[in-house]
Amino acid sequence: MKTALLQCNPVTGDIAGNIERISQAVRRAGKVDLCVTPELALSGVAPGDFLSMNDFVEGCRKGLDILAARFVAGPDLLIGAPVVSVYNPDLLSNAAIHISHGQWDVVSRKIRPEASRDPDARFFDRGVSCGILTLSGWRLGIVLCENDTADSFWAQGTGYTPLLDLISRGVDAIIHMKATPYIIGKRADMEAMLTHVAARHHIHLLSVNLIGGNGGLIFGGQSLALDPTGAVYARGQAFAEDVLIVDMATGTAPVAAVGKVWQENVFGALVLGVRDYVRKNGLEKALVSLSGGIDSALVLAIAVEALGAHNVQAVLTPSAATSTEALAGARRLAERLSVPVCELPIDALLEGYDEALAPALAGADPTPAVHSKLQELVRGSLLATLASQSSALILNALNKSETALGYCTLYGDTVGSLGVVADLTKTQVQAVARWLNEARDIFPASVLQNASQTRISRQKTGLALPYAELDTVLDALLAAQPRRPLPRIHERQDEVRDRVFGMEFKRRQEPQPLYVSDKPFGRAWTVPLTGKFNLP
C-alpha cells in the first residue's frame, strides 16, 4: 500500500487556505492509496479561542465537506481537524477524519492526559480510544499525540495505553499524526522511541509531523517511516514542506539527511520561525538593530536567510560610547550580507533629552546608569518609528541569559515583535554563530572578538559572572525536577536564582520568543509576576 505523508505548513485559522494547501499536497502525491496529514492540519495548530467560536467549528466541517467532494475519485485522505465531540456537545475532539468516496467519518480521537500542558486542552474532550482504519487489506491503527519522547506518549496517565490497545486488536501498522514542536536535542530521542516501539511490537509505524512557525512554536517536520525491525526507511525534510511517499509492502522511500550538529538544526528552526512569523502576519520586511555584537549579527544572518536581503534593513544608532571597531564591524557585516543600512547617530538626540530633563532633575546630570538606559530608549524609539514608516517588523536580539537576569532596558533594547534568539543562552548564541561562520565566513573578526566578551555586567545586574558559568546555573535551574533539591553547582547560584525570579516583570513585556528549548521562559517555565522568593 502506497501512503503519502503530507508534511504541510498550515496557517492557523485560515481554513480556506489550508484546504488549498492540503489539496496541492494531495495532487503532488500522485497515485497513492492514502494521504495522511499531521494533526489539526485543517484548522492549524494552537487556534486558542477560535475553537470556542461556532463559525470556526462550522468552517472546519465545511472544509471536510469540500475535501470530500474534491477527491471523490481518490485517493483516500486521513485529515487532522477539530470536530464536535460525541461525548460532550460543549467540547470538541482533536480527531483524525477518513475521507473516501465523497464521504468523511471520524476514525480516531486524541487521548489527552489529565495534566496536559496544552493551553487548548480546555476546548477538547479527553478521548476514549484510538480507532482502526481498514484499507487495501491493511488494518491501520490511528494515534494522535503531542509528546513522543516520553512514556506518557503511549500511556497518557488515564489508565489506557493507546498503542498496546491497538496492537492487541490486531493492527498491521500504526499511523501517528502529530504536531510536535522542535526542541534542541529531542529529535534523536524521538526517533529512538519510535524505533523501540516498532521493533518491540514488530509493526510498521508511520509518523507524520507538521512543519512551520506558529507564534513562538516551530514545527520541524522530519516525518518518519519505520519497518517492523525498527529501521527508518523514510524521513521527510527538516523545516521544509514535503510529501513523503512510502510503500509499506516494499519498505522503500527517500531518506532525507538530518543536521549533523545541533547548531545546524537550531539555525534552520529559527530561519523557519522568522519567515513564517513575518509572512503569516501579512508582512514582508524586517528591521534589525546592529550593535557590532554577536547576538544582533546572528539575528541579521537569520533574517537574511529567512526573508532575503532585499527585505531586511540594518539599523545602526551609534553614540559617543560606541567603539569605532564595533561600528566598523557592523557596517562590514551588513555589506557582506548585501543588506541596506540606515545609520542614525543619537548624540544630538541625547543632548536634547538632557536639556529637556534638566528642569525635572533640578540641574543634576543623569547618573551613568540612567544615561545608558536613555541611549537604549532613544534607539528603541527610532526603531519603532522606522518600523511604522516602512511597515516592517522589528527582530529583537536579546538572548536568554540577558532576559533571565533582566540585562536589558524596557522599551529600549526590548523593543520588537519577535525575540529571534530569546530562547538561546549567550553560550548557545556564540556556538551557533561559530558554526555558521565556519560554514559561510560571514562575520567580521571584530564581531567574533566581541563574542569573546563573556562577562555579564555588574552595573546592570549586580552580578559579574562569566556567561559560561551563568548559563550553567541557568540550565540547572530550568531543568530542575519538581520538588527535588537543586544540586550545588556554583557558589552564587542562589543570587542568580533570586535575580531570575525578580525579573519576571520584564520578561512579560519582552517580544514573543521563538521557542527551541524544553524550558522556555513564559511557556514551560513561569514564576509569579509579583512576589518574592524568601524562605525562612
CA–CA gap between residue 476 and residue 108 (Å, rounded): 39
Q: Check if the beta carbon of residue 138 is closer than 8 Å to that of residue 173.
A: yes
Q: Residue 370 in contact with residue 389, Cβ under 8 Å?
A: no
Cell matching residue 372: 545608558
> Concatenated DSSP letters for 100-112?
ETTEEEEEEE---
- The span from the CA of 348 to the CA of 193, in Å, is 60
Taken in order 435, 441, 447, 453, the sign of the CA dihedral is positive
Please report, as a single letter, which amino acid is at residue 375: Q
Is residue 280 among the annotated active site residues? no
Neighbours of 192 (CB within 10 A): 12
Whether the link from the prior residue into 75 is cis, omega within 30° of 0, is: yes
Q: List the catalytic residue out of 2, 8, 60, 110.
A: 110
State the catalytic residue, choosing from 35, 60, 145, 408. Answer: 145
For 440-468, b/e burial (b = at least 16 CB within 10 A) is eebbbebbbebbeeeebeeebbebebebe
- Coil, strand or helix: which one is 228? coil
User: What is the longest distance spanned by two Cα atoms in the chain?
Assistant: 87
CA 221, chain centre distance (Å): 12
Query: Is 38 in contact with 207 (CB distance < 8 Å)?
Result: no
| All residues at 6 or more sequence positions from 342 whose CB lies less than 8 Å from its CB, including other chains | 313, 314, 315, 316, 386
60 included as an active-site residue: no
145 has catalytic annotation:
yes
Q: What is the DSSP letter of 329?
A: H
Going through 200-239 in order, the beta strands assigned E by DSSP cover: 204-209, 211-214, 217-220, 224-226, 232-235
| Active-site entry in 39, 191, 402, 510 | 39
The 10 Å Cβ neighbour count of residue 200 is 11
Mind telling me the catalytic residues? 39, 110, 145
